[in-house]
Amino acid sequence: MTTEQSPTLDNLLTESRSFPPSPEFAAAANATADWYTEADADREAFWAKQAERLHWDTKWTQVLDWSNAPFAKWFVGGKLNVAYNCVDRHVEAGHGDQVAIHWVGEPGDTRDITYAQLKDEVSKAANGLLSLGVTAGDRVAIQLQMIPEAIVSMLACARIGALHSVVFGGFSPSALRQRVDDADAKVVITSDGQYRRGKAAPMKANVDEALDGAQSVEKVIVVRRTGDDLEGDVPWSDGRDIWWHELIDAQSADHKPEAFDSEHPLYILYTSGTTGKPKGILHTSGGYLTQAAYTHNAVFDHKPGQDVYWCTADIGWVTGHSYIVYGPLANRATQVVYEGTPNTPHEGRHWEIIQKYKVSIYYTAPTLIRTFMKWGAEIPAKYDLSSLRLLGSVGEPINPEAWMWFRENIGGGNCPIVDTWWQTETGAIMISPLPGVTHAKPGSAQRPLPGVSAKVVDDTATEVGNGGGGYLVLDKPWPSMLRGIWGDDERFKDTYWSRFAEQGFYFAGDGAKYDNDGDIWLLGRVDDVMNVSGHRISTTEVESALVSHPTVAEAAVVGASDPTTGQGIVAFVILRGDAAKAGDEAIQELRNHVAKEIGPIAKPRQIMVVPELPKTRSGKIMRRLLRDVAENREVGDVTTLADSTVMDQISKGLSSGS
């Protein structure tokens, strides 16, 4: 299987640096080394102890029910309200005046929201949703940029037991529609427009396009952000659309949270799989919040009332769910939430924000770190970053060079770095160094957290030895694991549990290896899923978008390694008849077409027009060979091709400049 791995990852094999925590950090760390032994001795007792971090209205009677595997039940019989745990209980404990959110708008406007204010906002929004007839179990779709109302909306849903389905703001109308229909969302929450790189872009107009004829949607709540209506040009559908400030501001701030079953669904979040149809990953309440809170405390060494925490993810991804909303708020964090892009209005924006709010914990993605590297170390050097004491990375393997740059130029050479491996499906961090305990290695996520079990196995499900590579599996259930794919139990079993069905392992879809110390190094996806700037995009989804264009006869898409984005999307297309002589303009149009169909994040970096595609005798496209072309490598073994001359035809066509 290693032949499928990108060769740029080979440099991981020679990385041997290791950085122990400073004695001061270790002495004050939340986590200790004995957590590993404690959890190994009695996993369920360990998780039960972690669940005590939360307020339960009714205590559970059983920690784990795995009798109907792979459908897990955690903290069976327990009842809790997730929003109460994230907001009210901190106010009741006397921390109402603590800032929960330092919000920074892209144009420079700011808002500080205390826990007491957050409680009022969430209660009002909960009452507002109830007034529209939303009840427990209903689905609410949310397409919002990074504004406080996004967080308030999610918590308001949780408070009344409705499931939110957050759709990333950059997704196209058809992507939104697909998700709204799949979940039968009753209400959609959005905004008039959003600021992007200094300009206001419409949002509501896209939502209207998406919802044209949508059967399930009764109401659309619109947050006023850019003030498009004041210009008189926000499209409006009377009877369906309602302004947030008219609906929510008028509500009472009194709302009594109801305790829901530990397994009550909390949210659906769609993610790309190997087919064109996104999967609605389902998460539930008690186990999810337990692991989100535990990992936020242990992995980020978070100290409530002292730290200022900043996770740079967008609320549209799982990182935003678990490490902006649920984990940090359950742990009474004070956090920064930033609306805009990192280079608006200048490339020092993040460092300026860290300096201003004295951010102590900063959690970001390798693609952004590499972008900062490109912009130059002299930019962060102009700011006082001495408040930072811990750095985190997520989304894709971090190359040792970026890790070292992060450590030296942002962390001042003395902050532990946690490289956290997890997925939308796992709900929370699974593999990561423990700060204060682990001797960190640049580029390795290292060990499963206490309470978590992961292994690297070969095709026969046998664990490989030190130095060996294979597939990453999770061999024991964990509290924040997905409970299924919305409306599709078969696909759930098929996708994750069929590959190693006999052993009952969860198949993560990632390649990994052990080094000589038994530490885990993640090597990227082993399926047809690309990772572009930490975003998961399926090759099939992009291929379907391409062939939906009238000029395209056939398309094959691969993720080619990219110095900034990790992988870049490279498409090979066969054009129809006359279109085959297409010039640059036609290629541009195809790129834009994909952006329009899925969203700008899916726009191919490069499109190559080819006469044929390499296929096996059974008709499967051999992406491995196309990846060789896309990465300018000598083309590998072609013996399994139905027509072995295809690769020659492709190379010849490309070198002659088409």
Q: How many CB atoms lie within 10 A of CB 256?
A: 10
* H or E segment and range at residue 383: none
CB nearer ligand WT7, residue 255 or residue 441: 441
CA pseudo-torsion sign 578, 584, 370, 636: positive
Rounded CA-CA distance 562/530 in Å is: 12
Cα dihedral sign for 231, 232, 233, 234?
positive
User: Does residue number 165 form part of the binding site for ligand WT7 (CB under 6 A)?
Assistant: no
Provide, rounded to whole angstroms, the least separation between the CB of residue 27 and ligand WT7: 27
Contact between 318 and ligand WT7 by CB under 6 A: the answer reads yes
- Angle ∠(462,465,471) on CA atoms, nearest 5: 55
Is there binding between residue 420 and ligand WT7 (CB under 6 A)? yes
Residue 170's alpha-carbon distances to 596, 600, 602, in angstroms, are 10, 7, 10
Residue with tokens 């094999």: 13
Q: Which two tokens stand for residue 299?
A: 């992995």
Nearer to ligand WT7, 261 or 419 (CB): 419
Distance CA 435, CA 364 (A): 16
For ligand WT7, which residue of 445, 456, 590, 630 counts as binding (CB under 6 A)?
445
Smallest gap, in angstroms, from Cβ of residue 366 to ligand WT7?
8
* Region for 151 from its dihedrals, namely left if φ exceeds 0, alpha if ψ lies in -120 to 50, beta otherwise: alpha
3-class DSSP state of 507 = strand
Among 301, 307, 510, 515, binds ligand WT7 (CB under 6 A): 510
Q: Which stretch binds ligand WT7 (CB under 6 A): 152-160, 286-294, 353-361, 415-423?
A: 415-423
Site string for ligand WT7, 267-306 (x = CB under 6 A): ----x-----------------------------------
178 token code pair: 């697909």
Q: Is residue 43 part of an annotated ligand binding site? A: no
Q: How far is the CB of 62 from ligand WT7 (least distance, A)?
A: 29
Q: Which is nearer to ligand WT7, 123 or 565 (CB)?
A: 565
Q: Which is nearer to ligand WT7, 124 or 603 (CB)?
A: 603
Smallest gap from residue 536 Cβ to ligand WT7 (A): 4
Scanning 260-268, 405-413, 418-426, 539-547 for contacts with ligand WT7 by CB under 6 A, the matching segment is 418-426
Q: How many residues bind ligand WT7 (CB under 6 A)?
A: 22
Q: Looking at beta carbons only, is 551 or 565 nearer to ligand WT7?
A: 565
Judge whether 377 and 349 are in contact, CB under 8 Å: no
Stretch that binds ligand WT7, among 81-89, 240-248, 504-512, 575-583 (CB under 6 A): 504-512
343 annotated among ligand-binding-site residues: yes
Paired residues of 574 in beta bridges: 554
- Determine whether the annotation assigns residue 232 to a binding site: no
Contacts of 645 (CB under 8 A, 6+ apart): none
Contact yes or no for 172/197 (Cβ under 8 A):
no
Least distance CB 575 / ligand WT7 (angstroms): 32
Nearer to ligand WT7, 517 or 643 (CB): 517
Inter-residue contact 398 to 445 (CB < 8 Å): no
- Does 438 bind ligand WT7 (CB under 6 A)? Our answer is no
CB of 525 to ligand WT7, least distance (A): 5
Full 3-state SS string of 139-156: EEEECCCCCHHHHHHHHH
Determine contact, residues 25/389, Cβ cutoff 8 Å.
yes
Tell me the sheet residues that pair with 374: none
Stretch that binds ligand WT7, among 155-163, 177-185, 391-399, 458-466 (CB under 6 A): 391-399
Q: Under DSSP, is residue 490 helix (H, G, I), strand (E, B) or coil?
A: helix
Q: Among 423, 438, 480, 565, which residue sits at the site for ligand WT7 (rule: CB under 6 A)?
A: 423
How many helical (H) and strand (E) elements, i.e. helices and strands, does the chain have?
A: 22, 30
The one-letter amino acid at 139 = R
Pick from 152, 125, 147, 269: which is nearest to 203 by CA? 147
423 assigned binding-site residue:
yes
Footprint (CB under 6 A) of ligand WT7, residues 319-378: 319
Q: Is 138 in the site for ligand WT7 (CB under 6 A)?
A: no
Q: Is 78 annotated as a binding residue?
A: no
Residue owning tokens 């964090």: 333
Pairing of strands 110-114, 99-104: antiparallel
H or E element that contains 309: strand 308-311
419 binds ligand WT7 (CB under 6 A): yes
Q: Is 483 exposed, middle or buried (0-12, 13-18, 19+ CB in 10 A)?
A: buried
Near ligand WT7 by CB under 6 A, which window of 33-41, 61-69, 392-400, 481-489?
Answer: 392-400
Q: Binding of ligand WT7 at residue 433 (CB under 6 A)?
A: no
Q: Is 142 exposed, middle or buried (0-12, 13-18, 19+ CB in 10 A)?
A: buried
Q: In the set 536, 549, 591, 627, which binds ligand WT7 (CB under 6 A)?
A: 536
Interface residue with ligand WT7, options 84, 421, 478, 507 (CB under 6 A): 421
Of 294 and 357, nearer to ligand WT7 (C-beta) is 294
612 annotated among ligand-binding-site residues: no
Residues binding ligand WT7 (CB under 6 A):
271, 318-319, 394-397, 419-424, 445, 508-510, 522, 525, 531, 534, 536
Known binding positions for CoA: 196-199, 319, 343, 533
Known binding positions for ATP: 395-397, 419-424, 510, 525, 536
Known binding positions: 196-199, 319, 343, 395-397, 419-424, 510, 525, 533, 536, 547, 549, 552
